[in-house]
Amino acid sequence: MSETKTDDVGGWFSPEDFAVVRRRMPILYVDAIPVLVDADGVIQRIALLLRTPREGGISRALVSGRVMYHERIRDALSRHLDKDLGPMALPRLPVSLTPFTVAEYFPTPGITPYHDPRQHAVSLAYVIPVDGDCQPQQDALDIAWFTPEEVIEPEVQQEMVDGHGALVRTALACTGQLV
């Protein structure tokens, strides 16, 4: 998913060097689930990014990306939310950085629900209410908003990449909003 993201690795490693590093070390990520909440804090909608991968079809994804050297987790979250939802999204960063789950993405499928063929990534996952206006950026065609009921439907789950379907279901359960 992030292959089309420029985390601007060149500032830190050449693409060749980073290709070596990501086959030898776990890479730290953050995953963010953008949500609309009502006045009581209850999740009303979940945002999924729509993309058309080179290999065809469509895929849906959450906001996801690397933590950079000397970057606070809060800054990484903020940067990736801005990058994927645009500057008017007004995300509400959490008071506590304890993630609702730690998603371990292995290059080998089946060890966990999470899979990333490019690397071993370990991601801290957060539910992030957004107050503003989200606009698709860069490589995303659209941002679609699903109710909790819709997002767990098999058709939607199947379009989600890398285990993001399981991540959304985990988020709903951990926030007590399992449907």
By CB under 8 A, name the binding residues for its own copies: 1, 12-13, 21, 23-28, 35, 37, 39-43, 67-75, 78, 92-102, 104, 106-108, 111-113, 120, 122, 124, 127, 129, 166, 169-170, 172-176, 178
**In this structure, which amino acid lies at residue 172?**
L
Q: How far is the CB of 115 from its own copies (least distance, A)?
A: 13
In the complex, minimum distance from the CB of residue 168 to its own copies, in angstroms, rounded to a whole number: 11
Min CB(12)–its own copies separation in Å: 5
> Between residues 41 and 57, which has the closer beta carbon with respect to its own copies?
41
In whole angstroms, the minimum distance from the beta carbon of 108 to its own copies comes to: 7
- 141 Cα distance to chain centroid: 16
Instruction: Measure the CA–CA gap between 128 and 31, rounded to whole angstroms.
Output: 10
> For the residues of 66-132, what is the DSSP string, one character each?
EPPTT--HHHHHHHHHHHHH-TT--B---SS---SEEEEEBSSTTSSS-B-TT--EEEEEEEEEB-S
Measured in residues, the chain has a length of 179
Query: At its nearest, how many Å lie between its own copies and the CB of residue 74?
Result: 5
Residue 163, SS3?
Answer: coil
Which one, 35 or 48, has the nearer CB to its own copies?
35
- Closer by beta carbon to its own copies, 43 or else 63: 43
Q: Exposed e or buried b for every residue in 40-76, given b needs 16+ CB within 10 A? A: eeebebbbbbebeeeeeeebbbbbbbbbbeeeeeeeb
User: Is 50 or 122 the residue whose CB approaches its own copies more closely?
Assistant: 122
C-alpha Rg value of the chain to the nearest Å: 16
Helix (H) or strand (E) holding 23: none
Q: Which is nearer to its own copies, 140 or 171 (CB)?
A: 171
Q: Which is nearer to its own copies, 22 or 60 (CB)?
A: 22
**Min CB(48)–its own copies separation in Å:** 17
